[in-house]
Structure 1
Amino acid sequence: MKRTGDRMTNTLERLQKVIAKSGITSRRKAEQLIVDGKVKVNGKLTTELGTKVSANDEVEVNGVPLTKEVPVYFMLYKPRGVISSVKDDKNRKVVTDFFQEVPERIFPIGRLDYDTSGILLLTNDGEFANLLMHPKHEVNKVYVAKLKGIPHKNELNTLRKGVKVEKDLLKAVGYKILSTDKKSQTSIVEITLHEGKNRHIRRMMDHIGYPVIKLKREKYGILTLNGLKPGDFRALTPHEVKKIRHSASEIVE
């Protein structure tokens, strides 16, 4: 496994951590791959979880060599009508289409629904992605939703405790009613989440009787959309990456 960057090449790291950093899977799944005999180091089958490797070691997973890239981190203002994936079997536009000039093999951290716009993070750092996607993290994600109908505060308060929709308990950390329009019977509500299950806000609001007309994620931790238009992206600063890492309350080894 070749490594670029300015770190010393003889630094040893746990094999499962190196695999996770490559972005192909989570650390726990990497551990299972090792135990299942799917990983080789310098051509030799390795099944010990305690194995440590350096940047000079050649690592293969399922016969495919890992190529370690310098980690990169981006924020995209995802437009509506774009898939949060690296490819789509229906040939619809995907978020990585905006990064044609970026040489690294980046992928989205989590997802935004096809009809939802706003902040989406992309990286080639699998460990960073898995850290942020873990359900126990408490990174504030702030959405602004246009709703059909005008909910009462007591109805929105139920979202703090959570509502059961199918098998999921869907919660909101907080909310703020930004505006209401009695004539059109619509409202604009700011909703804060920590975790984000599939179509989390849309399903949650449908459940209490106020369907989402339009939805945008405006904040992700310390990040905002300031200065960006739909389809624009920028690299995160080292300070921003550090702050986002530390905003997670639990890191699961």
Structure 2
Amino acid sequence: MMTNTLERLQKVIAQSGVTSRRKAEKLIADGKVKVNKKTVTELGTKVTHQDNIEVDGVLLEKEEPVYYMLYKPRGVISSITDDKGRKVVTDYLGEVPERIYPIGRLDYDTSGILLLTNDGDFANMLMHPRYGVDKVYVAKTDGIPDKQELNKLRKGVRSDNDLLKVVRYKVLEVDRQKNTMILELTLHEGKNRHIRRMMDALGYPVSKLKREKYGFLNLQRMQPGDFRPLTPHEVKKMRLLAND
């Protein structure tokens, strides 16, 4: 149910999924936001979900914020549309009436936890590396890097113009017969194809990659393609985790 609780205008705009809170603040300051047909430029303005809010002439749709977790299968695009007709993550959440979108992305060939929401403020908070939310991956590599090479993962590996690094790593399994290693890698920041590019640069390409944890969330009792709503407690806990 919609409530009459007063909230900051930039927060309401961000929760609508239009943009991040920071960009919403700039839009307000630039005079591009109207509340009940009156231009508002004061960042301290508070509104309710009953107010009519326009951003750049477009009326915000009044949706309650929703939060979902999907076990993304391999071979699926982390997007809401694809011009090549490939499967996208929202194909698995067809019964959800709200306009949701993924928080960040997982590569086409990567499986695991993907969060989706219509709350832009929440999404921005979880994606920004300064909030330090752990994202834990398990990777299978072709070849067996030694300890010296693995330590480069924490110091950073150059790929194109990016310095790619992990917060920590752990060796889970070494198969010398098959010449493979299974690594647990923790990131706070996820650049495009972060882990694959990092391991390619070291000369140990990743043959399989899965995101197993996002903060305290895990894939327990879920199969690829399954999704579920986050509980209010989980949403609150994720906010607290990001604000620690």
Q: TM-score normalised by the shorter chain: which range applies?
A: over 0.9
Of 113, 135, 143, 1:141 maps to: 135
Q: Could you say which residue in structure 2 is the equivalent of 1:177?
A: 171
Shift of 1:62: 2.0
Q: Could you say which residue in structure 2 is the equivalent of 1:22?
A: 16
Q: Could you say which residue in structure 2 is the equivalent of 1:156?
A: 150
TM-score by length of 2: 0.94
Q: Could you say which residue in structure 2 is the equivalent of 1:33?
A: 27
Q: Could you say which residue in structure 2 is the equivalent of 1:69?
A: 63
- Summarize the alignment of residues 78-117 of structure 1 with structure 2, pairs less than 5 Å apart: 78-117=72-111
Shift of 1:239: 2.0
Shift of 1:12: 2.4
Q: Could you say which residue in structure 1 is the equivalent of 2:39?
A: 45
Query: C-alpha separation between the residues in 1 aligned to 2:103 and 2:11?
Result: 18
Matched, 1:237 2:203: no
Q: Could you say which residue in structure 1 is the equivalent of 2:183?
A: 189
Instruction: For structure 2, list consecutive stretches of 5 or more residues without a partner in the other structure.
Output: none
Query: C-alpha separation between the residues in 2 aligned to 1:44 and 1:170?
Result: 46
Matched, 1:203 2:203: no
Query: C-alpha separation between the residues in 2 aligned to 1:74 and 1:52?
Result: 27
RMSD (Å), alpha carbons: 1.5
- Secondary structure at the aligned position of 2:185 is classed as strand
Q: Conserved in 1, the CA contact under 8 Å of 2:16 and 2:65?
A: no
Q: Calculate percent identity across the aligned residue pairs.
A: 71
Q: Could you say which residue in structure 1 is the equivalent of 2:122?
A: 128
Query: C-alpha separation between the residues in 1 aligned to 2:166 and 2:224?
Result: 26
Large movers: runs of 4+ above 3 Å: none
Higher mean displacement: 152-161 or 45-54: 45-54
Query: C-alpha separation between the residues in 2 aligned to 1:203 and 1:144?
Result: 15
What are the Cα deviations for residues 74-116 of structure 1, in whole angstroms up to 9, with x where unaligned? 1100011111111112221111111111111111111101110
Query: C-alpha separation between the residues in 1 aligned to 2:49 and 2:166?
Result: 42
Instruction: For structure 1, list consecutive stretches of 5 or more residues without a partner in the other structure.
Output: none
Query: C-alpha separation between the residues in 2 aligned to 1:121 and 1:220?
Result: 9
Higher mean displacement: 52-61 or 104-113: 52-61
Q: Conserved in 2, the CA contact under 8 Å of 1:176 and 1:191?
A: yes
Query: C-alpha separation between the residues in 2 aligned to 1:88 and 1:46?
Result: 36
- Secondary structure at the aligned position of 1:136 is classed as helix
Query: C-alpha separation between the residues in 1 aligned to 2:108 and 2:68?
Result: 19
- Secondary structure at the aligned position of 2:69 is classed as strand
Shift of 1:64: 1.6
What are the Cα deviations for residues 6-56 of structure 1, in whole angstroms up to 9, with x where unaligned? x3x1x3222211111111100111122223332211112223333322222
For 1:106, give the aligned amino acid.
Answer: I
TM-score by length of 1: 0.91
